């Protein structure tokens, strides 16, 4: 059974998978890397994954390479959290493998923090169908009380200019 390791703290620049694979080259062909890139820019998103053959090899690689410098940054290695059922086609970075939370929050998918259209919340002040209030126009438009006196002075100045 293969084990996936999370590789974090990668530089957010253009990196080839081969460059990352070269770091783990002495482990042989038994390890494979996957670099997670931004679809639009092609730059690294700051993490990737390493697949190894077994748990023992995973522990050895974590011990050996955790904190090693890659392009002037110390990489972070830990066992990747398993994918959840709804995320089968998407890669996700683990939150904190050593501290599982009781209430996991969904992490953003590859495309950023976009939501599905069906789960979109209505925007404030948006068009949509709303019940009309029974308040009159004078009640609906009230100035901020902190600026009410200043606003009144401006209204008087404008009124004086238009009469001149």
Residue 30 within a domain: yes
- How far apart CA 67 and CA 88 sit, in angstroms, is 29
Structure-model confidence comparison of residues 80 and 149, the more confident one: 80
Residue 128 within a domain: no
pLDDT in tens, 48-57: 999 999 999 9
CB-based contact 83:66 (threshold 8 Å): no
Residue 146 within a domain: no
Query: Per-residue pLDDT averaged across 88-95, rounded?
Result: 46
**What pLDDT sits at residue 78?**
94
**pTM for the whole thing?**
0.51
Residue 137 within a domain: no
Residue 45 within a domain: yes
Structure-model confidence comparison of residues 43 and 91, the more confident one: 43
Residue 13 within a domain: yes
**What pLDDT sits at residue 116?**
52
CB-based contact 6:94 (threshold 8 Å): yes
CB-based contact 15:35 (threshold 8 Å): yes
Residue 136 within a domain: no
Is residue 103 predicted with pLDDT exceeding 60? Answer: no
In DSSP terms, 162 is beta-bridged to none
Residue 140 within a domain: no
Q: Looking at the 3D structure of the chain, how many domains does it have?
A: 1
Q: Mean pLDDT score of the chain, rounded to an integer?
A: 75
The CATH number for 71's domain is 3.30.70.330
Q: Give me the domain span that covers residue 39.
A: 1-82
In DSSP terms, 47 is beta-bridged to 8
């Amino acid at each position: 059974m293969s084990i996936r390791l999370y590789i974090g703290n990668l530089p957010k620049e253009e990196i080839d998978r081969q460059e990352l694979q070269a770091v783990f080259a002495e482990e042989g062909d038994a390890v494979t890397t996957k670099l997670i890139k931004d679809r639009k820019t092609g730059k690294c998103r700051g993490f990737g994954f390493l697949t190894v053959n077994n748990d023992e090899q995973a522990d050895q690689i974590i011990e050996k390479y955790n904190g090693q410098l890659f392009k002037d940054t110390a990489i972070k290695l830990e066992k990747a959290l398993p994918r959840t059922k709804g995320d089968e086609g998407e890669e996700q970075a683990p939150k904190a493998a050593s501290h599982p939370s009781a209430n996991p929050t969904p992490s953003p998918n590859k495309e950023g923090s976009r939501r599905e259209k069906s789960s979109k919340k209505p925007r404030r002040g948006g068009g949509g169908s709303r019940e009309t209030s029974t308040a009159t126009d004078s009640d609906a438009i009230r100035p901020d009380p902190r600026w009410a006196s200043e606003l009144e002075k401006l209204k008087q100045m404008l009124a004086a200019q238009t009469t001149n």
